[in-house]
A = this chain, B = another copy of it.
Amino acid sequence: MKKMEEKILSEATVLPGGVLKVGSFLNQQIDTVFLKEIGAEIARLFEDSGATKILTVEASGIAVAVAAGMAMELPVVFAKKNMTSNMTGDVYSAGIYSFTHRVEKDIMVSKEYLPEGEKILIVDDFLAHGSALTGLIDIVKQAKCEVVGCCAVIEKGFQNGGANLRNRGYRLESLAIIDEMTDVSIIFREDGFTSLI
């Protein structure tokens, strides 16, 4: 998605430790006009996927999943990181390691929202090591549902999460794939090539 690359180049900053900061439009502040375009693009990419439900994990995945869900008219389910008093019954859970928060966490989905046989599109804002997506895939399998696709808004192609998922045979679409980044430049993967934009 060309416009995603342009947005990253005009608004993102690279912090020490390889952290890409996109808080101005995706992660803390959300550009809702642009978010609607993100939703439409995800709908276009997965229109033939047969998805019946979208799954993400709180918190920053929610906005993207909701935008995709609105565009595809599909329900969204988000995994929680804490058990809350309004969760009842059994849950599916998986352990994930958050490199952003630097902690290992269980994520949980109430079983009632993942009935057997659903076709699940997994959506998240970032894909780096792939811990969150792998945990969500694990939950979908526990529920005897099918993963029909995975979508990340921004993939760090220089980390191994995306390659691992593709090697495992999952259909993974990322709206922008960063192959290299320093504090002065970001190189995107495009149609198999890399180019400095």
Please give the residue numbers on chain A whose beta carbons come within 8 Å of chain B beta carbons, in ascending order: 15, 17, 19-24, 27-33, 35-36, 58-59, 62-63, 66-67, 69-70, 73-78, 80, 82, 84-88, 100-102, 109-110, 112-113
Interface residue SS majority, chain A: mixed
Interchain CA distance A144-B191 in the complex, whole Å: 47
- Across the interface, do A78 and B28 meet the contact criterion of CB distance under 8 Å? yes
- Across the interface, do B77 and A28 meet the contact criterion of CB distance under 8 Å? yes
Closest to A21 in B: B86
Q: How many copies are assembled?
A: 2
Interchain CA distance A65-B63 in the complex, whole Å: 9
Interchain CA distance A85-B103 in the complex, whole Å: 12
- Across the interface, do B101 and A32 meet the contact criterion of CB distance under 8 Å? no
- Across the interface, do B73 and A23 meet the contact criterion of CB distance under 8 Å? no
Partner of A86, one of B19, B35, B75: B19
What are the residues of chain B within 8 A of A75 when measuring CB–CB? Answer: 29-32
Q: Which of A19, A33, A66, A74 has the most CB of B within 10 A?
A: A66
Interchain CA distance A13-B35 in the complex, whole Å: 32
What are the residues of chain B within 8 A of A33 when measuring CB–CB? Answer: 70, 73
What are the residues of chain B within 8 A of A17 when measuring CB–CB? Answer: 85
Q: Which of A23, A27, A67 has the most CB of B within 10 A?
A: A23
Enumerate 12 A-B pairs (CB-CB under 8 Å) in ascending A order.
A17-B85, A23-B113, A28-B77, A29-B77, A29-B113, A30-B78, A32-B70, A58-B59, A63-B63, A63-B76, A66-B67, A82-B101
Known contacts A59-B59, A66-B66, A21 near B73 by CB under 8 Å: no
